[in-house]
C-alpha cells in the first residue's frame, strides 16, 4: 500500500456523533472526501434537515438520524439500523458535546450531571454499542473529541473539564482493552476553535471592542489565532485511517501550540 493510500477511507463506514455543524461537520466532510460513507445524528429533525442540505451543497451523500447519544436504547437501535443498512461501523467519532459555563459554587448538580452525561457517559454508551461490530470485523477506529480541558482547568467549566479529563482516560482504557483486537482508540484535542460552542467567547462587546476572552486566547496561542473546524480535518483523517494503526491511546492535540506555550508577555 503506498503511503498516501494508507490515509484513504474508501469503503469505510463512519459515524460522527453530532455531525450537523461545527467540528463534527468538518470531520465528517473530511471523511467523505477521503472516501467514507457518513452517518451523523442530532436531537432534532430541523438540525438533521439543515445538515443534509449543507452536506448536499458540499457534494456529500450523508445519512442523518435522530438520536440523543445519552439514550442507550436509541443508540443501540441506531447501531442495529446502521449495521443492517451499511454494515458494521469502521469508524466512530464521539464528537457530540455541550458546555455549561457556570462558576462551580453556583452550578447545580443537575447541570453538572448533564454535561458529564453528554460529554463522557455518552462516549461510553456509543463506543459500547459499536464495539461488537468492530470486534467481529477485526478492526475499528474510535476517536474521542477531547479538549484543552482534558489537560487544563479554568474558571466556570468544572463539569466540562471533569468530563473531558475522563474522556482522555476512557480513550486510554478502550485502547488497553481492545488494542489486541486491532481496535485503536485515540483522542483528538482541539484548541480553541471558532464554532457555535465558542461563539459567546468571541462576541463583540457593546462598544464594538473584542471580547476579552478572544484577545486572551489569541495571546495564549502561538499560532496567534483561533482554530477553525477545517484545522482538524487532516488530523482526524489520520486517526481514522490505516496510517495510524500503531497509534493507540494517544490524544492528538490540534491546538496551534497552546499546551506548549506560557502565553505572550503583555506589552
Ligand atoms: P457545537 O457547535 O456546540 O456542536 C455540538 C454538536 O453536538 C451539535 O451537533 C449538537 O447537536 C451535538 N449534541 C449535543 N448534545 C447532543 C446529544 N445529547 N445528542 C446528540 N447530539 C448532541 O460544538 P463544537 O464546537 O462543534 O464541538 C464539538 C465537540 O468538540 C464537542 O465535544 C466539544 O466539547 C469539543 N471541543 C470543542 C472545542 C471548540 O473550541 N469549539 C474545542 C475542543 C473540543 P444539537 O444541535 O442537537 O445540539
Ligand atoms: C471554554 C471553551 C473551551 C473549548 C475547548 C477548548 O469555555 O473554555 O468552550 O472549553 O470549548 O474545549 O479545547
Lookup result for grid cell 463583540:
204
Active-site option among 25, 31, 160, 253: 160
Does the pLDDT of residue 11 top 90, yes or no?
yes
Q: How crowded is residue 260: how many other Cβ atoms within 10 Å of its Cβ?
A: 9
Q: 212 lies in a domain? A: no
Lookup result for grid cell 488497553:
176
Q: 207 lies in a domain? A: no
Q: Is the distance from CB of 19 to CB of 40 less than 8 angstroms? A: yes
Q: 200 lies in a domain? A: no
Q: 222 lies in a domain? A: no
Q: 183 lies in a domain? A: yes
SS3 category, 247:
coil
Counting the structural domains of the chain, the total is: 1
Domain of 24, in residue numbers: 5-193+227-260
Does the pLDDT of residue 1 top 80, yes or no?
no
Q: 71 lies in a domain? A: yes
Q: 80 lies in a domain? A: yes
Q: How crowded is residue 267: how many other Cβ atoms within 10 Å of its Cβ?
A: 3
Q: 19 lies in a domain? A: yes
Alpha-carbon span 164 to 63, nearest angstrom: 27
Residue nearest ligand 2's atom 12 by CA: 147
Which of 159, 189, 197, 198 has the most ligand 2 atoms within 8 A of CB, as the residue to mutate? 198
253 is catalytic: no
What is the pLDDT at residue 267? 83
pLDDT band for 62, please (50, 70, 90 cuts): very high
What is the pLDDT at residue 91? 99
Which of 146, 158, 197 has the most ligand 2 atoms within 8 A of CB, as the residue to mutate? 197
Beta strands in 22-161 (DSSP E): 37-42, 63-66, 91-94, 140-145
- Chain segment 18-61, per-residue pLDDT in tens: 999 999 999 999 999 999 999 999 999 999 999 999 999 999 99
| Crossing angle of helices 158-178 and 122-137, rounded to 10° | 20
Q: What percent of the chain has pLDDT over 70?
A: 100
Does the pLDDT of residue 137 top 80, yes or no?
yes
Residue nearest ligand 1's atom 44 by CA: 147
What is the pLDDT at residue 266? 82
Q: Which three cell numbers stand for residue 169?
A: 482516560
Q: Is the distance from CB of 174 to CB of 181 less than 8 angstroms? A: no
State which ligand 1 atom lies nearest to the alpha carbon of 190: 43
Does the pLDDT of residue 197 top 80, yes or no?
yes
What is the pLDDT at residue 147? 98
Q: CATH number for the domain including 25?
A: 3.40.50.720
Q: Is the distance from CB of 194 to CB of 160 less than 8 angstroms? A: no
How many Å lie between the centroid of ligand 1 and the Cα of residue 84? 27
- Chain segment 209-248, per-residue pLDDT in tens: 999 999 999 999 999 999 999 999 999 999 999 999 999 9
Alpha-carbon span 142 to 14, nearest angstrom: 10
Amino acid at each position: 500500500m503506498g503511503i498516501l493510500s494508507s490515509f484513504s477511507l474508501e469503503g469505510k463506514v463512519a459515524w460522527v456523533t453530532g455531525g450537523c455543524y461545527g467540528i463534527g461537520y468538518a470531520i465528517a466532510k473530511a471523511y467523505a472526501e477521503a472516501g467514507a460513507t457518513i452517518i451523523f445524528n442530532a436531537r432534532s429533525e430541523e438540525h438533521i434537515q439543515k445538515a443534509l442540505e449543507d452536506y448536499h451543497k458540499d457534494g456529500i451523500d450523508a445519512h442523518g438520524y435522530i438520536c440523543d447519544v445519552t439514550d442507550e436504547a436509541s443508540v443501540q437501535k441506531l447501531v442495529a439500523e446502521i449495521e443492517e443498512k451499511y454494515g458494521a461501523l469502521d469508524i466512530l467519532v464521539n464528537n457530540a458535546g455541550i458546555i455549561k459555563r457556570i462558576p462551580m459554587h453556583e452550578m447545580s448538580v443537575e447541570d453538572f450531571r448533564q454535561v458529564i452525561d453528554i460529554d463522557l457517559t455518552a462516549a461510553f454508551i456509543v463506543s459500547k454499542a459499536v464495539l461488537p461490530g468492530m470486534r467481529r470485523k477485526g478492526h475499528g477506529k474510535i476517536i474521542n473529541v477531547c479538549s484543552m480541558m482534558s489537560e487544563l482547568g479554568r474558571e466556570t467549566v468544572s463539569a466540562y473539564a471533569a468530563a473531558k479529563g475522563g474522556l482522555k482516560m476512557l480513550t486510554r482504557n478502550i485502547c488497553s482493552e481492545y488494542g489486541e483486537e486491532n481496535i485503536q482508540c485515540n483522542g483528538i484535542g482541539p484548541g480553541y476553535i471558532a464554532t457555535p460552542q465558542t461563539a459567546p467567547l468571541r462576541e463583540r462587546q457593546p462598544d464594538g471592542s473584542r471580547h476579552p476572552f478572544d484577545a486572551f486566547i489569541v495571546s495564549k496561542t502561538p499560532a496567534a489565532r483561533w482554530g477553525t473546524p477545517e484545522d482538524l480535518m487532516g488530523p482526524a483523517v489520520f486517526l481514522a485511517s490505516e496510517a495510524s494503526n500503531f497509534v493507540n491511546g494517544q490524544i492528538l492535540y490540534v491546538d496551534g501550540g497552546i499546551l506548549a506555550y506560557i502565553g505572550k508577555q503583555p506589552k
